[in-house]
Amino acid sequence: MRALRRNQLVWLHDAAWATLAARPWDTAARTTLAHWQQHRLPLVVCRQAPCTSTQRISVGLAAPRSWAASKLALDLAPEDIQAHGDFPTLQEVAQGTAWQSAAQALADGLGITAHVYGSHGWQHLSGLDYVHAQSDIDLSLQVPDMDTAQAVVAQLESAQLPMRIDGELVFAGGHAVAWREYARLLQGQTRSVMVKSRHSLQLADLPALQALTEAACAI
């Protein structure tokens, strides 16, 4: 299996679900886990917790906020994972909505695939009620280089979706930066941005971010 990135989805083998269920959960957490197992819903790869062995994978379960146990932090062995994949695309999430045309126009302008995580992504995957009137839409955008990232930011700033657009630019090596922070960095409104990956969290200015992405491309 290729190295997993933050915000990728993983589906578990039945034996892995049984192992998780055997842990000493409270009633609310046990109910949430049972629903996820019954409906074969995915978990999401998180930043590796400091206390987690390098032989384990930190993942999260994100249920609707109205659930008593809405967020669970878990750790898995690589062999627990049956399959992995990505959140749905922007076009998939927008299908049949009043803003489908606006989403398609944005997708066409971006020139790269936008995946939707957060409340809109989880609602699409699970059929549960995550989205409310104030919900942002979170986009994950893999960009091959800094020039593409700048062009993507320009498209996002001019987008006409009915909700606020949040999310991340994901550079080589899984190094992710909030796109709004990156826009402020380009405009000189901030000197550094928070760079996230599955294994690290660090501040970087523009030259340092460039060096990170170039080093990852060289691997």
Q: Which residues are catalytic?
A: 136, 138
CA distance 133 to 205: 35
CA distance 32 to 68: 8
Name the 3-class secondary structure at 188: coil
C-alpha angle 206-186-138 in degrees, rounded to nearest 5: 100
How is residue 72 written in tokens?
A: 């669970």
C-alpha angle 214-60-74 in degrees, rounded to nearest 5: 110
Query: How far is it between the farthest Cα atoms of the chain?
Result: 52
CA distance 164 to 96: 19
CA distance 129 to 13: 26
